[in-house]
Structure 1
Amino acid sequence: MNHIRVAVNGYGVIGKRVADAVLLQPDMELSGIADVATDWRIQAAAQRLPIFAATDEALDSMRSVGIPVNGTLDQLLEQSDIVIDTTPKYVAAGNFARYREAGIKVVLQGGESHTTTGHSFVAQANYATALGRDSTRVVSCNTTSIVRVLGALQDAGLLLRARGVLIRRATDPWESHLGGIMNTMVPEPTIPSHQGPDAQTILPDLDLVTIAAKGAHTQTHNHYWTLQLTRPASREDVLDALRAAPRIAFIRMSDGLVALNSTIELMRDLGRPRGDMWEVAVWEDLVTVQGDEAYLTYQVYNEAIVIPETIDAIRALMGTAADAATSMAITDATFGMRKDFLKMPQTSGSRL
């Protein structure tokens, strides 16, 4: 079987993780990464990855500082079957016409509009509708978590409506010296916040409202959900629905995982690359059910959660895995995905 040749345009928080994930896949190869920067990020990447310049100006700049450049973005596209655009918000939309002209398949990220591609993607929910398409958009970190968790309850026939509050990190850790907020919390200016309507581009029948605020921290997001169930249910009914869903893992306060930082430290202790957490971490001991209402809270690692979805989106567009289960099984095995962080993983052969 020929490997899928994958180009990554943009080597930032998401791009570097996508590149490393592609390298792990048995059916993919990394054609190269393109960027405009010449700083430490690209200098480090050049020691192990093929580098291309996203613009003519970047080509000259990279050469001037001694970065070995393999060519231009257009040349990278010629050598690839699909491009993953992980450039900053709104830049990818400007690149889209260039990709279409090159006749290459495209995966965008959640910072872009749904209308740019006409399709948004979370593997467990709508993989089939992405099969063979020319392009899709992997939704944002928070939206991905909403589709995973609420979609699991909807699939179990338990969810009637959902109302959620999201406490978002202020900025990515590597950029925390550039800005952010201190000693305050900043509400998003509209209700619902954008995550709810975004989730409905994938699960249109989902009845939900999201309210969000930005907190004075840089690592991960935190969600709080009040759920109206379709019937009086038990706590085990809700837990069983979450256990049955992919890419959701349990943590417990009784194990000392009492705050966002403790979970991040756990990921490092588990040997996760960059301390990444690709799963949604649900506090199992906080799941509460009273009659036909349920309450839960979970943690979203914004830098990593969309990486497995991006890998599955590649297979969907290329049509190399016929269904979500087939693609996700490959992806989850290479990532070493877990259902519980303090119990032995259910998959073997982890390479991450």
Structure 2
Amino acid sequence: MSKTRVAVNGYGVIGKRVADAVALQPDMELIGIADIVTDWRIQSAAGRFPLFASTDEARQAMLQAGLPVAGSLEDLLGQVDVIADTTPKHVAAENLPRYRAAGVKVVLQGGESHETTGHSFVAQANYESALGRDMTRVVSCNTTSIVRVLGALQDAGLLAKARGVLIRRATDPWESHLGGIMNTMVPESKIPSHQGPDAQTVLPGLDLVTIAAKGAHTQTHNHYWTLQLTRPASREEVLAALRTAPRIAFIRMADGLVALNSTIELMKDLGRPRGDMWEVAVWEDLVTVQGDEAYLTYQVYNEAIVVPETIDAIRALTETAPDAADSMKITDSTLGMRQDFLAENVSALRGDR
């Protein structure tokens, strides 16, 4: 079977991770990456992937910088089936006429609005509705985590409604020198914050309200949820629903994972590329159930969590995997995703698996 030919436009925080993930897939071929920059971000990709210039001005600048330019974005589009646009917020929407003219499938990211594509995507929730579409939008990092976790409890028949507080990181680590938030916290200007309505574009029946603030840190986001259950339940029932869901992994304060930075350090120690965490990390020992209410907290690594969703979106648009389970099995295996970071590591060392 021929491989799906994929391009990535925008080799930034998400784009470089998507490019690496595409290269790992047995049914995909990364044809090239496009961008407009000439600095270390694109120089690090030279020799790894064919480089294309997204604009005429960028092509001249790349050539002057000594970069090996394989062609224009239009040249790249003429060679692929799908393009994953991981350019900055709102740029992708401006690129859509170029993609339509080339007749390629398009995967956008959560910085664009739901209305831009008419479809928003999280693999475990609505893969089938994306089959054969011309385009879809992988929702944002926080929204992806909400759909994974709350969707798991909804699928188990346990969730009636959810109220969440999100503490968001202030900026990407590599941009922290440009500004950001120090010694304060900045509430978002409206309630609900945008993540709640965004999650409802994927799970329309989800009753949730989100409140968000930016904190003075650059490593990952942190969510706190108060959940109204459909009935009195046990803690084990809630944990079982989360264990059943894909792309959720447990961590424990009892193991010394007591803060966001400790989990990031664990990812590095596990040998994850760039220290990435594609899963939602739920603190197992903090999950609390009192009658028909549950409380939990989890961590979202925003640089990586949408990468597996982008890979699955490519398969859905091209109909190269018939359902979410088949696609996610391939994606999760190639990335080495887990359901329990430390327990699986110890089990593997003992030879249990």
- TM-score, structure 2 as length reference: 0.97
Amino acid at match of 1:125: A
Displacement of 1:65 in angstroms is 1.0
Task: Measure the CA separation in 1 of the matches of 2:160 and 2:48.
Answer: 49
Amino acid at match of 1:149: V
Amino acid at match of 1:32: G
Percent of aligned pairs with the same amino acid = 82
Paired position in structure 2 for 1:6: 6
Paired position in structure 1 for 2:44: 44
Amino acid at match of 1:196: G
Displacement of 1:102 in angstroms is 1.0
Superposed structure 1 runs of 4+ greater than 4 Å apart:
none
Displacement of 1:190 in angstroms is 0.4
Task: Measure the CA separation in 1 of the matches of 2:312 and 2:92.
Answer: 20
Paired position in structure 1 for 2:144: 144
Displacement of 1:86 in angstroms is 0.3
Task: Measure the CA separation in 1 of the matches of 2:130 and 2:65.
Answer: 41
Within 5 A, what are the aligned runs for 1:231-310? Answer: 231-310=231-310
Task: Measure the CA separation in 1 of the matches of 2:173 and 2:43.
Answer: 20
- The alignment partner of 1:67 has SS state of coil
Paired position in structure 2 for 1:86: 86
Task: Measure the CA separation in 2 of the matches of 1:152 and 1:101.
Answer: 39
Amino acid at match of 2:224: Y
Task: Measure the CA separation in 2 of the matches of 1:200 and 1:344.
Answer: 33
Q: Deviations over 1:206-242 (max 9, x none)?
A: 0000000000000100000000000000000000000
Unaligned runs of 5+ in 2: 349-353
Paired position in structure 1 for 2:97: 97
Unaligned runs of 5+ in 1: 348-352
Displacement of 1:344 in angstroms is 2.1
Task: Measure the CA separation in 1 of the matches of 2:231 and 2:223.
Answer: 23
Displacement of 1:44 in angstroms is 1.0
Task: Measure the CA separation in 1 of the matches of 2:291 and 2:182.
Answer: 40
- The alignment partner of 2:31 has SS state of strand
Paired position in structure 2 for 1:350: none
- The alignment partner of 1:219 has SS state of coil
Q: Deviations over 1:264-315 (max 9, x none)?
A: 0000000000000000000000000000000000000000000000000000
Displacement of 1:55 in angstroms is 0.2
Quick check: 1:183 aligned with 2:176?
no
Amino acid at match of 1:84: A
Task: Measure the CA separation in 2 of the matches of 1:161 and 1:314.
Answer: 31
- The alignment partner of 2:7 has SS state of strand
Displacement of 1:61 in angstroms is 0.5
Task: Measure the CA separation in 1 of the matches of 2:82 and 2:264.
Answer: 32
- The alignment partner of 1:66 has SS state of coil
Task: Measure the CA separation in 2 of the matches of 1:343 and 1:258.
Answer: 17
- The alignment partner of 2:98 has SS state of helix
Displacement of 1:48 in angstroms is 1.1
The alignment's C-alpha RMSD in Å is: 0.9
Paired position in structure 1 for 2:313: 313
Paired position in structure 2 for 1:116: 116
Q: Deviations over 1:82-116 (max 9, x none)?
A: 00000000000100111111111000000000000
Paired position in structure 2 for 1:76: 76
Displacement of 1:47 in angstroms is 2.4
Task: Measure the CA separation in 1 of the matches of 2:236 and 2:176.
Answer: 40
Displacement of 1:162 in angstroms is 0.1
Q: Deviations over 1:167-191 (max 9, x none)?
A: 0000000111111110000000000
Quick check: 1:222 aligned with 2:209?
no
Paired position in structure 2 for 1:339: 339
- The alignment partner of 1:177 has SS state of helix
- The alignment partner of 1:2 has SS state of coil
Displacement of 1:33 in angstroms is 0.3
Task: Measure the CA separation in 2 of the matches of 1:215 and 1:6.
Answer: 36
Task: Measure the CA separation in 2 of the matches of 1:135 and 1:336.
Answer: 27
Paired position in structure 2 for 1:54: 54
Task: Measure the CA separation in 2 of the matches of 1:60 and 1:215.
Answer: 40
Amino acid at match of 1:66: G
Q: Deviations over 1:103-142 (max 9, x none)?
A: 1100000000000000000000000000000000000000
Paired position in structure 1 for 2:212: 212
Paired position in structure 2 for 1:129: 129
Task: Measure the CA separation in 1 of the matches of 2:42 and 2:288.
Answer: 47
